[in-house]
Structures are given as C-alpha cells and as structure tokens.
Amino acid sequence: MPDPVSSAPLEATLAALRRAPDLEAPELRAWDAADRYLLDTATTVIEGAPDRPVAVIDDTHGALALGALTLGTSVVRVHQDSLVARNALERNAARLAPAAPIDHHELDTVATDAGLLLLRLPRSLARLDAVARLLAARATDDAVLIAGNMVKHMTPAQNEVLRGSFARVDVSLARGKARLLTARGPIRRQPLEPARGYDPEHALHVVALPGVFAGASVDIGTRALLATFDTLSPFTTAIDLACGSGLLASALARRTPGARVIASDVSAIAVASASLTAEANGVRIHAVHDDGLARQPDASADLVVLNPPFHVGAAVHTGLALRLFAEAARVLRPGGELRAVWNSHLDYRPALERLVGPTRQLARTAKFTVTASRAAAREGAPGGRPQ
C-alpha cells in the first residue's frame, strides 16, 4: 500500500481546487481521500511512462486530471458524464494550468493508447459494467486501470464486475477510508445495451442507459408525481428538470402533444436515455444536457416538474434541491407551476414558499410529499441565458 506522496506541487494543486459551479459549502471539498489514494498509486506508473496518455473517467472536480499533470504526465484524456464535473474541471484548469493538455473524449475513445486509466468507481454496478466494457475494448494489453472510491460506497460485487472485463483485479488495503481496485489484462466484450421496461399503470415505456437513476423502472417518487398529473393546468412549455430516464417528459408530451417539452439533466447518459424513452413512446421532446436550467431563459415555461436528488456527490445535502427550486422559479412565467416530489422528512415546503411562491400539498405519505408551487412575478429578476 503506497504511502501518501510527499509532493509540495501535488499538495498545492489539491488545496487550490474549487467545486464551482457545483454546490459549495464548508462541509464539501473538491477532492477526497480516494482521489489522493488514486494519485499516490498512479505516481509510479506515470513516472515510468510520462509520455503516454492518462485517461481519467468521471473526475468530480479535476483532482485526478490536474493531479496527473502535476505528477508529470504529458497528456490527460478525460471523460465526464456530469456537465457540472466537466465545468468544474475546466474552471480549475483555467486557474491552475491554463496551458494544460486536457482532451475531452467520449467514453468509447478515452482509453485509446493510454497506459493508465483512472476511474472514480460509480456506485451503480450497471454503470461500472458499461464503463469497464468500453474501456477494455479500447485499452492496450499493458494498460493499468486503477479505480477507487470511499469504502462506504464500495461492495465486493464491484470486484466481480471488473473481472468480467479484465483478467486480473487486485484489491488494495483501505487507507483514509478509501480503497482501490487495480485491473489488468483487458477482455474485449460487447457493450451493454440500454435497459427497457414498461409501466402498465401509465402505459409508458422506459429506456435507460446503464447507470441512470432507477434504470428502466418507475421509482416510487416519480410514480407519486405521475399520480397528480390529472390536475395539471394547460401548458405550452413544460420542463422535466433532473429528468433521469425522461419518463415524466414523455408523460407530459403525450398529455399535450402540441406543447414544447424539455427534458434537462446534468448527466449525459440521462439525456440520451430521455431521448430513447420519448422515441419508445412515440412522442417528441427536446433533451438538453444542462447544469440545472442554465440554458433556459427567464419566464419561459408554464410548468416545471421535478423529482430532485438529495445527494451532492456521495453526501446527503439539501443544497442541490434548493438550487433547483430557485432555477425553476427563475424560468417559470408568473403564474406558472413547479410540481415537485420530495422525501417527506426533508420538509421543503417553507423553502418552496420562499423561493417559488404559494405552495399547496397535493399528496403525502410517510415517504414522499407532492407539492404544487405557483410562481409570482418577480421584480429585478436576473437575465436568463437563452438556449
């Protein structure tokens, strides 16, 4: 087990990282012990072949990409599913390494010619399987994959998933509550196909790429929200914010065929899944890869529907939901509605009243609450960013 690398430049790089435009809070940091463990373990590989590209997959804020450059690699190739993660990396690179040779790639090309692959282990086994297959398909025979996360987010099942695409997988000892998996000997396999499901209650098809929240099923929060759609007011523009598989967007498009329905998510695989779900249901939507509603103008929508995440990365945090409520308020026309479902114990109603407008409860169980918030006219609202 490698000891932490005694490197003033690496320490300085990590200390200077910021989370923006991701949520920032005193208890949230732009890197963690898993990032540091990955970089310490990667040092020997990078020093042995500094001219070979290093591929970094799902770096959260740039710790791995900028850390690899600090350790001496000449080229870093990056794939990030999250648009927020990509924007955070670009902001950090602009401040700390403006001339850095960082190339953004699709997942099926990022590993080409790379001697080292650094992966933040996803918690979804389906996503890990999909990633491992695509990396192994392009990796050279001598490539080394080092994957890591905090121990509380790891299971032995991840080892077995990696062994499906790599001949050898070694498990590290824990350090700083983090653990690594090192894989060698790529095995060429077919990519995973999207999962497909059907919900007979609402007669809706669901298509989900591996790793999308709830997969090709209807989670109970979304089901609670769908159950209130018969009370929706007429709309000409509606947005499924944090759309996941896009099931709500497809339901809205089917309900009002002439309306403009937008499905927005920070995750590229969610946006692609929303398009596939719409196609499976024979409806047309506009799927947008976006940080919240940054690309949508002020006062441009009649309706926003939202099943907000309550995790920021691996941490349970309400800040992201509050940010999405505020974004919905900005984009809604006066009198427009935010219809949201949320975990009942979080008691978001006072925040919805403050950020959006008058809020009424439509349904409540011990697990979930569904509310409708009516947007009021706002003086001096900031200018929107048109799509």
pLDDT tier, 385 (very low <50, low <70, confident <90, very high otherwise): very low
The whole-angstrom separation of Cα 346 and Cα 8 is 42
**Closest of 132, 107, 149 to residue 188, by C-alpha:** 132
Question: CATH fold of 195-374, please?
Answer: Rossmann fold (3.40.50)
pLDDT score for 23: 86
Residue type at 340?
Answer: A
The whole-angstrom separation of Cα 330 and Cα 252 is 21
Give the H or E element holding residue 324: helix 319-331
pLDDT at 275 over 60: yes
Partners of residue 263 on adjacent β-strands: 240, 287
Q: What are the residues whose beta carbons fall under 8 Å from the beta carbon of 160, sequence distance 6 or more?
A: none
pLDDT score for 382: 46
Read off φ and ψ for residue 294, nearest 5 degrees.
-60, -30
- Mean pLDDT of the residues in the chain: 93
Read off φ and ψ for residue 146, nearest 5 degrees.
-120, 120
Q: What is the mean pLDDT of residues 37-66?
A: 96
The whole-angstrom separation of Cα 327 and Cα 199 is 30
For residue range 311-328, what is the model confidence (pLDDT) as tens digits?
444 444 468 899 999 999
pTM of the predicted model, to two decimals? 0.92
Superfamily of 8-186 according to CATH:
Vaccinia Virus protein VP39 (3.40.50.150)
Q: Where are the domains of the chain?
A: 8-186, 195-374
Burial environment of residue 128 by CB neighbours within 10 A (0 to 12, 13 to 18, 19 or more): buried
Partners of residue 110 on adjacent β-strands: none
pLDDT score for 63: 98
For the ranges 20-34, 176-190, 197-211, 323-337, which has the lowest average pLDDT? 20-34
Q: What is the mean pLDDT of residues 132-157?
A: 97
To the nearest 10 degrees (0 to 180), the angle between helices 33-48 and 63-70 is 40
Give the H or E element holding residue 341: strand 332-343
Same topology, domains 8-186 and 195-374? Answer is yes
